[in-house]
Chains A and B, each alone.
Chain A
Amino acid sequence: MINLKVVSPQKVIFEKEVEMAVLPGAEGDFAAMPNHSPFISSLRPGQMVIMSANKVDESFFVSGGLVMLKEKVCEVLVDQIESLSDVNSSNYQQSKTFQELEGNETALGTFEQVLNNPPYK
Chain B
Amino acid sequence: MPNLKELKNRISSVKSTRKITSAMKMVAASKLRRAQELAESSRVYADSLSFILSSLAGNTKNSSDLPEILTGRENSKISLLIINSSDRGLCGGFNSNLFRNAKNWISEQQERGKSVKIITVGKKASSFYKKTDLDVIANFDDLNSNDKQLQVSEEIKNKIMELFENNEIDEVSILFNKFVSVITQEPTYQSLIPLSNEEADEEVTDTSNAVFEFEPDKNELLEYLVPRNFLTQIYRSVLESSASEHAARMTSMDNATRNAGDMIDGLTLTYNRTRQAFITKELIEIISGAEAV
Contact = CB atoms under 8 A, between A and B. Distances in A.
B211 interface: yes
B70 interface: no
B48 A68 contact: yes
A68 B203 CA distance: 15
Interface string A51-95: 000000000000000101011000101000000000000000000
A12 B225 contact: no
B80 interface: no
Interface in B33-52: 38, 41-42, 44-46, 48-49, 51-52
B216 A42 contact: yes
Interface string A11-25: 110000000000001
Interface string B210-245: 111111100011001100100110010000000000
A68 B52 contact: yes
A100 B126 CA distance: 31
Interface residues of A, number: 21
A40 B45 CA distance: 15
Contact of A39 (B42, B49, B215): B215
B233 to A, nearest CB: 11
Contact of A9 (B55, B210, B232): B232
A42 B52 CA distance: 11
Nearest to B231: A9
A39 B212 contact: yes
Contacts of A70: 210
A12 B146 CA distance: 16
Nearest to B235: A9
A12 B45 CA distance: 8
Nearest to B153: A9
Contacts of A39: 212-215
B143 to A, nearest CB: 15
A70 B38 CA distance: 27
Contact of A26 (B42, B44, B216): B216
B51 A68 contact: yes
B221 A40 contact: yes
Contact of B212 (A11, A12, A38, A75): A38
A117 interface: no
A66 B42 contact: no
A10 B41 contact: yes
B49 A25 contact: no
A42 B221 CA distance: 7
Interface string B67-92: 00000000000000000000000000
A75 B41 CA distance: 15
A75 B49 CA distance: 10
Given A11-B41, A66-B49, A77-B48, A27 B216 contact: yes
Contacts of B150: 9
Given A39-B212, A39-B213, 15 more contacts: A7-B48, A9-B45, A9-B150, A9-B231, A9-B235, A25-B215, A26-B216, A38-B210, A38-B211, A42-B224, A68-B48, A68-B52, A75-B48, A77-B45, A77-B52
19 contacts: A7-B44, A8-B45, A9-B42, A9-B232, A10-B42, A11-B38, A26-B216, A38-B211, A39-B212, A40-B55, A40-B213, A41-B216, A41-B221, A66-B225, A66-B228, A68-B48, A68-B51, A68-B212, A70-B210
